[in-house]
Amino acid sequence: MISSSWGAPAAFTKGFNLQHVSDGLYGRHLHVYSWPDGELKQTLDLGNTGLLPLETRFLHDPSKDTGYVGCALTSNLVRFFKTSDGSWSHEVAISVEALKVKNWILPEMPGLITDFLISLDDRYLYFVNWLHGDIRQYNIEDPSKPVLAGQVWVGGLLQKGSDVFYITLDGKESQFDVPAIKGNRLRGGPQMIQLSLDGKRLYVTNSLFSVWDQQFYPDLLQKGSHMLQIDVDTERGGLSVSPDFFVDFGTEPEGPSLAHEMRYPGGDCTSDIWI
């Protein structure tokens, strides 16, 4: 078993504070345990490239001793793997560059990778950038060399109409095009994802944690979350937003509500249950 050390409740339950990172209240380690006895065998220090490690996912193939962890603050996907001597090592597999921005709390904005998953056939990896607002698809047939296969924008702080701009390489202010779905402007950023078992439909919600939602996307608390469907090209790669699927949690009888995790009955791509 490999676990991450993303943060202390005393820190993240109060909202994100960069000082808490300096104070050591957020992690940068992976812990390797023997299973089922639970003995700690090894600790991997991800260093400054692996701040705030969240979900860990192994490849579904039980013969493969490799997987990934999403490191939110540094916005890296780090691959961990067993070496020839039986120990574990790691390397940065995918990096999302922080964007120079205007009208935000910091001069640069990380993507903030908050969730990712691997398709059941181990061909594709998907992850979200909660702050930037995009969902990405990578071909991982070679797990050590992911290749970008699809990308779509479904919200974020940098969409057109926002007060926040990113600065292009030539110094211009710019924003991303985000489609309206069934007449609804997309709010918040993509956060939790779940993939259909055939790999053709990726579902996404947009609430991370209520105090973080309040801090970065206050509209979510007034208007509620939503769920979208992303159509996946499983042959050539590629993502597109389904124009006819929009579940509005702002209209719940006890709402507005904040939508987070999604599960399929009997097992799904993130719970790793084989039916």
Mean pLDDT per 10-residue section of the chain, whose length is 275 residues: 93 93 94 94 96 95 95 97 97 98 96 97 97 98 98 98 96 96 96 96 97 96 97 97 97 92 87 63
Contact present, 50 and 91 (Cβ < 8 Å): no
Q: According to the model, what pLDDT value does residue 133 have?
A: 98
CA distance 101 to 104: 7
Q: According to the model, what pLDDT value does residue 273 have?
A: 61
pTM of the model: 0.96
Contact present, 263 and 271 (Cβ < 8 Å): yes
Domain ranges of the chain: 96-251
Report the alpha-carbon angle 12-259-31, nearest 5.
40
* Three-class DSSP category at 264: coil
Contact present, 79 and 90 (Cβ < 8 Å): yes
Closest among 197, 208, 46 to 130, alpha carbons compared: 208
CA distance 181 to 151: 17
Q: According to the model, what pLDDT value does residue 260 have?
A: 95
Q: According to the model, what pLDDT value does residue 255 have?
A: 85
Q: According to the model, what pLDDT value does residue 254 have?
A: 86
Q: According to the model, what pLDDT value does residue 274 have?
A: 60
